[in-house]
Amino acid sequence: MPRQRRPLDHPSRRDSFGSAPEDEGCASKLTQSGVGQVDFAAIFKAAFALVVGLDPGFLAIVGLSLRVTLSAVLIAGLIGLPLGAALALARFPGRSVVIVCLNALMGLPPVVAGLFVFLLLSRSGPLGPLGLLFTPTAMIAAQVILVLPIVIALTRQTVEDLWSEYRDHLRSVGLEGMRAIPTLLFDGRFALATALLAGFGRASAEVGAVLIVGGNIAGYTRTMTTTITLETSKGDLPLALGLGLVLIALTLAINAVAFGASRIGARYAG
């Protein structure tokens, strides 16, 4: 069993972060001054310096966030795409209930997902012996739970619409039932890419789940959103703001890609 860095007491709130001198100077200045006298220009300058300077600690946080979220989206895609397609084609009693529940789960509060995974992984929980609590793996698991309903629900909708359009032809060429799934997933590729991006957006923006199951351990389970939460309360505004800028850029990028996908998709959809 792997030895874990398991913080027995709460992860230290005192880890200082960032090696850039401007960063530390600004942070201490801010802690001394009251909120009313925050020097915005200086904060922005320091934040930009962090982003542009490719500070290693800063990059590590961005990297961990991306690793956790991308892994979660990948896993949710591998599970959710076939499952959503199967749900679109299957007819069984209680199907509508399942669909309504899935749609509701799309709005599951991240803290609740976090709590759920926490209970599963906590020392006395059913999966406690795995020792995964407060690790990136736990964070990925929690985010899979957040992303999966989005992927399944949007896949089901996309595939069901396509199926009603393609049904006659696919059955005519002998693709009945589950054998139609590969065709439907492929032909829904642009809409499904958008569904995955929506999942990515939700996971990268959430803070509650990763905070609860990751524990916000410096250099280990600290993501962009949990760092922003912590550093803002500590007063290290440049770091928080720098990460905020990265998150905004990420959101813009996701939307640009989603827009592009739907444009290309519209071309093929005629």
Chain residues binding another protein by CB under 8 A are 165-166, 168-175, 183, 186-187, 265, 267-270
Of 29 and 167, the one with the shorter C-beta distance to another protein is 167
CB contact at 8 A, 7 and 218: no
- Report the nearest approach of another protein to the CB of residue 150 (Å): 22
Nearer to another protein, 125 or 265 (CB): 265
Closest CB to another protein among residues 89, 170: 170
CB closer to another protein out of 145 and 170:
170
Q: Which is nearer to another protein, 12 or 186 (CB)?
A: 186
How large is the C-alpha radius of gyration of the chain? 22
**Least separation in angstroms between CB 169 and another protein:** 4
Compute the least distance from the CB of residue 91 to another protein, in Å. 16
User: Minimum distance from CB of 172 to another protein (Å)?
Assistant: 5
Nearest 5 degrees, angle CA 38-CA 41-CA 45?
120
Q: Min. distance of Cβ 268 from another protein in angstroms?
A: 4
- Whether 140 and 68 have beta carbons less than 8 Å apart is answered as yes
Nearer to another protein, 5 or 171 (CB): 171
The pair of three-digit structure tokens given for residue 198, joined into one six-digit string? 């929506």
Q: What is the dihedral of CA 122, 202, 190, 183, to 10 degrees?
A: 20
Q: Could you tell me which residues come within 8 angstroms of residue 122 by beta carbon, excluding any fewer than 6 positions away? A: 128, 133
Residue 173 to residue 186: CA distance in whole angstroms: 17
Tokens for 178? 């589950």
> What Cα–Cα distance (Å) separates residue 37 from each residue in 87, 164, 241, 254?
56, 61, 17, 35
Q: How far is the CB of 157 from another protein (least distance, A)?
A: 16
